[in-house]
Homo-oligomer: A and B are copies of this chain.
């Protein structure tokens, strides 16, 4: 039994100054966590109980699917991460340190290398496979923008697992099994989720999906089709390509365009001075070329120009996901000064491309299809060029999914409109394939005694992030509302009587009865605290059932509140224990 008179917790009436999102605000106010440094938190007793409940569910399900638990250090020597170049590729996101002997170490952001080498150390035959290993372990990433409390931390608890298979079919099976396990885990946690197609990020690999909890404060944006099953992180959305019908396009022609460095000004000029007969010019007729500066992990920089239809913004998150591990910076004054080939406001294809005189790499959004016609910059101040046809009049160095996705865009599978929402990444499954096994030399002898490179999957759940995600989903204006499976206690009993009126005795005996039934009880036995304060605390702390033992006891009634529905019942004191037990088990 947890007695509030002794429990190490203090609630705060005011929101912490730095809290941006409800989970952060409430977890701090309710005394579940405390901030130690940006993105680094301490867990107080109630918070720690929630975290351990989440951890227990994750562990049970990982064990149930045949996972074997191991545990790697967080402090890792550099050499292994040099082999895969991630020591460099992780850039500023890696916490690096030097030991007393001058050796380089890092704090592990993820453990692909370590798992691969461990399996290589122990296994050598196809008979040993498949194997599925996991750990629940503290990870470190020096995030540029730690934010939102536990949602994006720099020290956080993760379950990461890795599957090792002999062939693609085995990997697919491991992947599917993991995906099903993750569905069970999030269902047990009570956490709603959407499974979306994902970018694989700096880990490499092919097939990859994210589990997103659809919450407005989420950092991830995803689309889902209003008609078919398609869903994807916007970083990973593929574009439904426009079809080109026009074939007989005049030769390119320069257009004087003084003071038209913006798409809006250009469209106005076109409609005013070069009116079409068929329709008005729109931004969709223009090609916008946006320069960015890439910072590669080795410290070098590279200018890059990205072309998108003028009616779309460049979505920097999508771009960054595809250019990773390079980081994408804005192209500022100093950059323009360094690269005079780029005329601000008038950048155009004629000066772009690795084989052009400027040598600046030029990537196009896939919406810019072969044979499409554009009005775009002419690389001279106050001049644009019309009738420029991609493929006929200019080339690019490749494709990049760069344009922002808009609500109503066509689904790449069925062309129905897509809808857009925000979410928190709570899980990630992906097929790494043979990349790590090849670099690190993990192969086994197959049935014919020939070495076969092992194929891997990598799977993660943010355990501490799950706590915050659940708090995001389950709270109201009054406070937290924990799902039963992970609540620090099943029942919060509030004594509002004076002690000598039998309320304390009744509450103690009720607590004992409930604990006999296997329920965990938090008892507010504080003396000298007003009922109002106790109610407010109970609502803030968020146990799923609140029981009030007070004035009603004399008349034989106890108030039982369901914190999840915020409904309340008066129950006879004789039957209240049974009532609570039934309620507590109602969604088991």
Distance, CA A374 to CA B484, complexed state (A)? 78
Q: Pick from B8, B70, B92, B123: contact of A43, CB below 8 A.
A: B70
Asked whether, in the complex, the Cβ of B70 is within 8 Å of the Cβ of A42, the reply is yes
Say how far A507's CB is from chain B's closest CB, in angstroms: 20
Asked whether, in the complex, the Cβ of A37 is within 8 Å of the Cβ of B105, the reply is yes
This chain: how many copies in the complex?
2
Asked whether, in the complex, the Cβ of A122 is within 8 Å of the Cβ of B73, the reply is no
Asked whether, in the complex, the Cβ of A8 is within 8 Å of the Cβ of B70, the reply is yes
| Beta-carbon contacts under 8 Å, A82-124 to B | 92-93, 95-97, 99-100, 103, 105, 107, 114, 118, 121-123
A417 in the interface, Cβ–Cβ < 8 Å?
no
Contact with B along A250-293 (1 / 0, CB 8 A): 00000000000000000000000000000000000000000000
Stretch of A137-145, A232-240, A241-249, A496-504 that contacts chain B: A137-145
A155 in the interface, Cβ–Cβ < 8 Å?
yes
Asked whether, in the complex, the Cβ of A70 is within 8 Å of the Cβ of B48, the reply is yes
Say how far A119's CB is from chain B's closest CB, in angstroms: 8
Contact with B along A1-43 (1 / 0, CB 8 A): 0000011111000000000000000000001001011001111
In the complex, which residues of chain B have a beta carbon less than 8 angstroms from the beta carbon of A121? Answer: 34
A133 in the interface, Cβ–Cβ < 8 Å?
yes
Contact with B along A317-356 (1 / 0, CB 8 A): 0000000000000000000000000000000000000000
Asked whether, in the complex, the Cβ of A75 is within 8 Å of the Cβ of B8, the reply is no
In the complex, which residues of chain B have a beta carbon less than 8 angstroms from the beta carbon of A69? Answer: 45, 48
| Beta-carbon contacts under 8 Å, A45-89 to B | 45, 48, 51, 66, 68-77
Q: Pick from B70, B72, B144: contact of A100, CB below 8 A.
A: B144
Asked whether, in the complex, the Cβ of A31 is within 8 Å of the Cβ of B122, the reply is yes
A44 in the interface, Cβ–Cβ < 8 Å?
yes
In the complex, which residues of chain B have a beta carbon less than 8 angstroms from the beta carbon of A77? Answer: 36-37, 40
Nearest neighbor of A97 in chain B, beta-carbon distance: B97
Asked whether, in the complex, the Cβ of A42 is within 8 Å of the Cβ of B118, the reply is yes
In the complex, which residues of chain B have a beta carbon less than 8 angstroms from the beta carbon of A8? Answer: 68, 70, 122, 131, 133
A563 in the interface, Cβ–Cβ < 8 Å?
no
Nearest neighbor of A94 in chain B, beta-carbon distance: B100
Nearest neighbor of A105 in chain B, beta-carbon distance: B37
Asked whether, in the complex, the Cβ of A10 is within 8 Å of the Cβ of B97, the reply is no
Asked whether, in the complex, the Cβ of A73 is within 8 Å of the Cβ of B133, the reply is no
Asked whether, in the complex, the Cβ of A71 is within 8 Å of the Cβ of B97, the reply is no
| Beta-carbon contacts under 8 Å, A119-162 to B | 121-123, 131, 133, 138, 140, 142, 144, 154-155
Nearest neighbor of A106 in chain B, beta-carbon distance: B97
Nearest neighbor of A42 in chain B, beta-carbon distance: B72
Distance, CA A42 to CA B131, complexed state (A)? 18
Asked whether, in the complex, the Cβ of A76 is within 8 Å of the Cβ of B138, the reply is no
| Beta-carbon contacts under 8 Å, A424-479 to B | none
In the complex, which residues of chain B have a beta carbon less than 8 angstroms from the beta carbon of A70? Answer: 8, 42-45, 48
* Tally of A interface residues using CB under 8 Å: 51
In the complex, which residues of chain B have a beta carbon less than 8 angstroms from the beta carbon of A40? Answer: 73, 75-77
Say how far A101's CB is from chain B's closest CB, in angstroms: 8
Distance, CA A581 to CA B72, complexed state (A)? 34
Asked whether, in the complex, the Cβ of A10 is within 8 Å of the Cβ of B155, the reply is no
Nearest neighbor of A146 in chain B, beta-carbon distance: B99
Distance, CA A443 to CA B558, complexed state (A)? 40
Distance, CA A486 to CA B40, complexed state (A)? 33
Known: A95-B99, A96-B97. A74 touches B43 (CB 8 A): no
In the complex, which residues of chain B have a beta carbon less than 8 angstroms from the beta carbon of A99? Answer: 95, 142, 154
In the complex, which residues of chain B have a beta carbon less than 8 angstroms from the beta carbon of A122? Answer: 8-10, 31, 44
Say how far A30's CB is from chain B's closest CB, in angstroms: 12
Say how far A166's CB is from chain B's closest CB, in angstroms: 15
Distance, CA A534 to CA B312, complexed state (A)? 68
Distance, CA A61 to CA B301, complexed state (A)? 57
Say how far A3's CB is from chain B's closest CB, in angstroms: 11
In the complex, which residues of chain B have a beta carbon less than 8 angstroms from the beta carbon of A144? Answer: 100
Q: Pick from B36, B75, B142: contact of A37, CB below 8 A.
A: B75
Asked whether, in the complex, the Cβ of B31 is within 8 Å of the Cβ of A73, the reply is no
Nearest neighbor of A2 in chain B, beta-carbon distance: B68
Known: A8-B68, A9-B122, A48-B69. A100 touches B105 (CB 8 A): no
In the complex, which residues of chain B have a beta carbon less than 8 angstroms from the beta carbon of A37? Answer: 73, 75-77, 103, 105
Distance, CA A44 to CA B74, complexed state (A)? 15
Of the candidates A9, A93, A97, the one having the most CB atoms from chain B within 10 angstroms of its own CB is A97
In the complex, which residues of chain B have a beta carbon less than 8 angstroms from the beta carbon of A92? Answer: 100
Residues in chain A within 8 A of chain B (CB atoms): 6-10, 31, 34, 36-37, 40-45, 48, 51, 66, 68-77, 92-93, 95-97, 99-100, 103, 105, 107, 114, 118, 121-123, 131, 133, 138, 140, 142, 144, 154-155
A-B contact list, 18 entries, CB within 8 Å? A6-B66, A6-B131, A7-B68, A8-B122, A37-B75, A37-B103, A40-B77, A42-B72, A44-B122, A45-B69, A48-B70, A51-B71, A74-B155, A75-B107, A75-B155, A92-B100, A96-B97, A97-B107
In the A-B complex, the 3 residue pairs with the closest CB atoms? A97-B97, A43-B71, A92-B100
